[in-house]
């Protein structure tokens, strides 16, 4: 299977993760013109599951190092299979709430607040479990990103609009971010990140863990998303009939979104073997910077904001960049 052996390559893959995780929501924005996010989310989940299979039978099966996907799956212990599956369930709950936050508040707010919080908590959790990287620079990076999140929230509240929707969007983002910070640990626990070339018996390679994780997302979606379709957070209920009534190109947008997110997830876990879970997760969740760029400059989500908001947003971007730089340097 494909294994990362150098730190610079691990960082490069984490940057690709950042771009993927920060860009998938554009497909939700595009499909959202005709498809409610609850229906879009089914296609998104299918895309994640599809890519997990593609990566497992390609990067996870080719080459002379490590264990191939089928061999690895057969030898995985039940506790590690359950751990990766639970990671998928936790992620799914968080991401459904996060998708609702995007639909209500937009990418420029949901990502910095929700995923920014997930980055902070996730880095701390993963570092204390597997202490890899300089803690001074790692935590300095977290501190700068915390400031960026606060500035983004201030900019959003000052931009006006529907205050009830604004509050709901921020609350959903915070809850989603809190839950999102835990999913990565469940997957990392199921893998042998110390030796991907000769992983311990019962542990899984990243490719197998991602597949089980994706199965957890897919199966739990029948419960969580069905409930949300009947009792939506915002708007009227939707039905499966409405889902199948939409044209194929609309569904392909959601599947593409899942594929994009899945690429980032797989590369991030592969990179974690060399960079460590705290650094790998932290850099991947730098997706907040990418998503904020899309929201501010492409979707013009702050176009009607009053004077002074632009300064807050500029400072937000600056603090995010400095924070990510500190996280990268912590592993040098």
Task: Tell me if 209 is assigned to some domain.
Answer: yes
- The predicted model gives 300-307 an average pLDDT of 82
Tokens encoding 21: 């995780």
Alpha-carbon gap, residue 97 to 232, rounded angstroms: 10
Candidates 327, 286, 282; CA nearest to 138 is 327
Task: Tell me if 322 is assigned to some domain.
Answer: yes
Alpha-carbon gap, residue 100 to 38, rounded angstroms: 8
Instruction: Read off the pLDDT of residues 263-289 as tens digits, 9 standing for 90 and up.
Output: 999 999 999 999 998 899 888 888 878
Task: Tell me if 2 is assigned to some domain.
Answer: no
For the chain, give the mean pLDDT. Answer: 90
* Pair 60, 69: CB distance under 8 Å: yes
> What pLDDT is stored for residue 99 in this prediction?
86
Using pLDDT thresholds of 50, 70 and 90, give the confidence band for residue 166. low
- The predicted model gives 299-307 an average pLDDT of 82
Using pLDDT thresholds of 50, 70 and 90, give the confidence band for residue 332. confident
Hey, which of 101-115, 166-180, 208-222 has the most confident mean pLDDT? 208-222
- Please count the structural domains in the chain: 1
> What pLDDT is stored for residue 208 in this prediction?
97
- The predicted model gives 247-256 an average pLDDT of 93
Alpha-carbon gap, residue 328 to 317, rounded angstroms: 17
pTM attached to this predicted model? 0.89
- The predicted model gives 190-197 an average pLDDT of 91
- The predicted model gives 25-48 an average pLDDT of 91
Using pLDDT thresholds of 50, 70 and 90, give the confidence band for residue 161. low
pLDDT at 67 over 90: yes
Asked which of 82-86, 140-144, 154-158, 218-222 is least confident by mean pLDDT, the reply is 154-158
Count CA within 13 A, CB hemisphere, residue 72: 31
Task: Tell me if 1 is assigned to some domain.
Answer: no
**Angle formed by the axes of helices 163-189 and 135-158, to 10°?**
160
pLDDT at 181 over 60: yes
> What pLDDT is stored for residue 83 in this prediction?
98
Using pLDDT thresholds of 50, 70 and 90, give the confidence band for residue 70. very high
Using pLDDT thresholds of 50, 70 and 90, give the confidence band for residue 88. very high
- The predicted model gives 247-268 an average pLDDT of 94
pLDDT at 155 over 90: no
Q: Which residue range forms the structural domain that includes residue 53?
A: 7-329
- The predicted model gives 317-330 an average pLDDT of 92
Alpha-carbon gap, residue 212 to 191, rounded angstroms: 12
Burial group, residue 33, by CB count within 10 angstroms (0-12, 13-18, 19+): exposed
Task: Tell me if 229 is assigned to some domain.
Answer: yes
pLDDT at 164 over 70: no
pLDDT at 8 over 90: yes
pLDDT at 165 over 60: no
pLDDT at 160 over 80: no
The b/e string for 264-299 (b: 16+ C-beta within 10 A; e otherwise) is bbbbbbbbbbbbbbbbbbbbbbbbbbbbbbbbbeee
- The predicted model gives 32-45 an average pLDDT of 91
């Amino acid at each position: 299977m494909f294994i990362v052996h150098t730190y610079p390559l691990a960082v490069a893959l984490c940057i690709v993760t950042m771009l993927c995780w920060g860009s998938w929501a554009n497909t939700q924005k595009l499909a959202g013109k005709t498809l409610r996010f609850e229906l879009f989310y089914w296609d998104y989940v299918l895309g994640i599951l599809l890519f997990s299979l593609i990566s497992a039978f390609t990067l996870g099966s080719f080459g002379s190092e490590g264990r191939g996907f089928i061999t690895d799956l057969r030898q995985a212990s039940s506790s590690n299979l359950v751990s990766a599956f639970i990671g998928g369930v936790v992620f799914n709950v968080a991401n459904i709430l996060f998708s609702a936050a995007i639909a209500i508040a937009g990418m420029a707010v949901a990502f910095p607040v929700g995923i920014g919080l997930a980055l902070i908590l996730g880095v701390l959790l993963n570092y204390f479990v597997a202490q890899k990287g300089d803690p001074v620079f790692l935590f300095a990076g977290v501190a700068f990103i915390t400031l960026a999140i606060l500035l983004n929230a201030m900019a959003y509240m000052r931009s006006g609009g529907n205050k009830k929707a604004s509050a709901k969007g921020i609350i959903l983002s915070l809850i989603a971010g809190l839950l999102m910070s835990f999913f990565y640990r469940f997957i990392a626990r199921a893998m042998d990140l110390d030796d991907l070339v000769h992983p311990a018996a019962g542990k899984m390679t990243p490719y197998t863990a991602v597949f089980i994780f994706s199965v957890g997302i897919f199966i739990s979606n029948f419960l969580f998303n069905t409930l949300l379709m009947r009792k939506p957070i915002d708007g009227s209920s939707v039905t499966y009939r409405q889902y199948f009534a939409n044209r194929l190109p609309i569904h392909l947008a959601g599947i593409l979104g899942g594929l994009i997110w899945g690429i980032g997830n797989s590369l991030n876990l592969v990179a974690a073997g060399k960079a460590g879970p705290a650094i790998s997760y932290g850099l991947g969740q730098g997706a907040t910077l990418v998503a904020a760029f899309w929201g501010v400059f492409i979707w013009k989500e702050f176009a009607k904001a009053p004077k002074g908001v632009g300064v807050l947003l500029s400072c937000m971007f600056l603090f995010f960049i400095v924070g990510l730089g500190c996280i990268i340097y912590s592993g040098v």
